[in-house]
Amino acid sequence: MLTAFLLATVAVVLAEMGDKTQLLAMAFASRYRWQTVLWAVFAATLVNHLMAVAVGNVITQFIPMGWIKLVAAASFIVFALWTIRGDTLDEEEQGQGRSPFWTVAIAFFIAEMGDKTQLMTIALAAEEAIKTGGVGWLAKIKQIVPVWMGTTCGMMIADAVGIVVGIVLHKHIPEKLVKWIAAGCFAGFGLLGLHDALDQLLSKAVTLHHLFLIAGVFVMPFFMWFIARLTQQPTFPLPASDEKKDHSAAPRSMSR
């Protein structure tokens, strides 16, 4: 149980770096008391992630273990690319309302629906259900609670960091470096998970997938760099004609 809790905590902390909900924490921290923001995040995360671990636990009853491991490993690759791509915060998502607590809680709950952190919680819950096994309510509690508490704890840590960054350290922490470290960890976990899943699904005589996974170690950084370049906001240089106008306008104003 402790291992599942720690894994869920670390995974969510990495997933939340630069995520939309962390951006929400930064935005709300500049408008409301940080204590209110944290309590609202805690309440919204408890409900949202309880739904996610319940779904992940039920999935194991219909899908074979090997395929669940394969999907979970592939999801980590997707999370790596998603982290590099980054999120943006729309003005509508910053919420409107009279109560700061409910404004933040509802905004976080909606932002988490379909987010990579929620999808990761589903995957972790499914994997834990397979590892723990057993039937009955006691077994279900052992499968659900560590992942639920771990992902909630990870969310609180990540969004607390977001609040601190938003209030104090925004100009001193390189956001790109944080994203690349988190994405690199996800890619590594994903490739290792694919290795284990394919070894279980394929015959022992089949080893060709090992070559593809080794190639993936070298291809993934390039692909992540390519995604990062595609998602960069372009800068538009000033046209030459405008530059000439600006330079020619300066002497006239001085002559006057």
Cβ 69 vs Cβ 193: under 8 Å: yes
Please report where in the chains the tokens 């409910």 appear, as a residue: 102
Burial 238-256 (b: 16+ CB within 10 A, else e): eeeeeeeeeeeeeeeeeee
Residue 43 has pLDDT above 90, yes or no: yes
Residue 111 pLDDT: 75
The two tokens of residue 117 are: 């952190």
- Give residue 46's pLDDT band: very low, low, confident or very high (50, 70, 90): very high
Structure confidence by residue, pLDDT tens digits, 4-30: 888 888 888 887 776 767 777 777 776
Residue 149 has pLDDT above 90, yes or no: yes
| Dist CA 142 CA 145 (whole Å) | 6
Structure confidence by residue, pLDDT tens digits, 155-194: 999 888 877 776 665 556 566 776 787 778 778 878 887 8
| Dist CA 108 CA 115 (whole Å) | 11
